[in-house]
Amino acid sequence: MKHRVPSRLVRWAVIGVTPVLTAAMLAGCSSSDSEAPTSSDAKISFTLPVIFDLTGPLGVYGQSDLLGAQLAVDLANKSGEFDITLEVHDSASDPNTALSEANEIIRNRNLPVMMFGGGSQQAVAIAPLAQSSGIPLVAVQSYSAGVIDQGDFVFRASTPQEFFYPALAEYAASQGIKTNALIYQNDSPTIKDIGDRVWPASAKEVGIEVVKTFSAPGSQTDFSSFASEIAAANPDSVFVSFGGAINANVIQALHAAGWQGTVLGGPPLAGNVLPPLGAEADGTIYTETFSPATTTESGKAFVEAFKAANDGKLPDSFAAETYDGVQVILAAAKLIEGDLTRESFKEALQKVYSEGKVSGATGDPLVLIPERDSRTPGVIQVFRDGRPHLVSP
């Protein structure tokens, strides 16, 4: 007896299979879209894939990352020396998505180098993959351990946050701050290390007593109980460190609980995190890698170029860091004689980190070390009247 396949089943099969087939074809097309990198007397040409946390809780930083990278590529192309195509991938503030995007990049043999900017969880996820696959990875932000230690294909162009906090503690002490409470995110590798180890040590070094410590995951929705305890202890300062908008929620909760001291923090308070609080954020002191009030020539040039490209908007440290990450990659590309392969890029990057002088937004030159890392000094800013003001150096 013949069995007819129900037409409804056929209809659903077509509806289900069509998008899958289409996606597969498009993926196949995109893999072959990027042309083989070339280096000639005319122009150095390659596609630069970047993975940023463009959406999700860390999207506030990722959007700035993209602006910085885009500016660097546009200026490089305008110089006539390069013909670079920026290929943008979104890791969506999620390590699994970051891995998936990294896999897609690695499969395309025409991509000789990649860049990542975003949360440490994502960086720690993709760094081992980049190392084992033999593709050079230039990471920005990505401050935690477990990134560059993966091996010689992984480079970091941003100074790990932990090197900034001793200076912040010194500055806080110089402002008369003697006591401190600490509240931080405990499911982000970088921030957890800052909260568990770096900040308490930095505070102790300058004689600031940490009187209360609280930590919470990034999914925490209410901080009033912690804020009440902190308000009851009434420290001079509170060190706040979470990813994204939660920082603003914590500061609001502290003020609502009646605490009126000084908020201290690091790069997580940078970017567009504090402006929604308005006057509630005034007086917040934080350290980060870059200030728009920079005094270096390359930094000032970056600020002007950024403003021109973004309707007068001032850049933040995230844009500055990815701009510098691209500068490092461009410096390496210029050193390569012959084909731009993954191996040649790796060798060139190692040379840049060992000997090179790269001017960037955060330093002129950037302080790069042979261990494939950065030690460019940070800045300290105070937030007032809707924007940061440089106080040190």
Binding site for other proteins (CB under 8 A): 54-57, 59-60, 62-63, 186, 214-217, 219-222, 224-226, 228-229, 231-232, 244-245, 248-249, 251-253, 255-258, 271-273, 276-280
DSSP of 138-202: EEEE--STTSGGG-TTEEE-S--GGGTHHHHHHHHHHTT--EEEEEEESSSHHHHHIIIIIHHHH
Cross-strand pairs, 284: 383
Shortest distance in whole angstroms from residue 231 CB to other proteins:
7
In sequence order, the 6+-apart residues with CB closer than 8 A to the CB of 201 are none
The rounded distance, in Å, linking the Cα atoms of 51 and 103 is 11
The rounded distance, in Å, linking the Cα atoms of 114 and 210 is 41
Would you state the structure tokens that stand for residue 327, as one six-digit string?
Answer: 């500068």
The rounded distance, in Å, linking the Cα atoms of 36 and 156 is 25
Strand, helix or coil at 82?
Answer: strand
Shortest distance in whole angstroms from residue 224 CB to other proteins:
4
Element housing 67 (H / E): helix 59-78
Shortest distance in whole angstroms from residue 214 CB to other proteins:
6
Q: How far, CA to CA in Å, does 105 sit from each of 28, 89, 94, 126?
A: 12, 9, 17, 11
**Looking at beta carbons only, is 59 or 315 nearer to other proteins?**
59
**Looking at beta carbons only, is 59 or 378 nearer to other proteins?**
59
**Looking at beta carbons only, is 251 or 285 nearer to other proteins?**
251
Shortest distance in whole angstroms from residue 93 CB to other proteins:
9
The rounded distance, in Å, linking the Cα atoms of 283 and 261 is 9
**Looking at beta carbons only, is 316 or 364 nearer to other proteins?**
316
**Looking at beta carbons only, is 64 or 350 nearer to other proteins?**
64
Cross-strand pairs, 219: none
Shortest distance in whole angstroms from residue 228 CB to other proteins:
5
**Looking at beta carbons only, is 150 or 317 nearer to other proteins?**
317
Shortest distance in whole angstroms from residue 91 CB to other proteins:
13
Bond prior to 95 in cis (omega within 30° of 0): no
Would you state the structure tokens that stand for residue 59, as one six-digit string?
Answer: 């999207």
**Looking at beta carbons only, is 244 or 265 nearer to other proteins?**
244
> DSSP class of residue 281?
G
**Looking at beta carbons only, is 243 or 325 nearer to other proteins?**
243
Shortest distance in whole angstroms from residue 296 CB to other proteins:
27
Shortest distance in whole angstroms from residue 19 CB to other proteins:
13
Shortest distance in whole angstroms from residue 138 CB to other proteins:
23
Would you state the structure tokens that stand for residue 3, as one six-digit string?
Answer: 């069995």
Sort 118 into a burial class: Cβ within 10 Å, 0-12 / 13-18 / 19+.
buried
**Looking at beta carbons only, is 44 or 238 nearer to other proteins?**
238
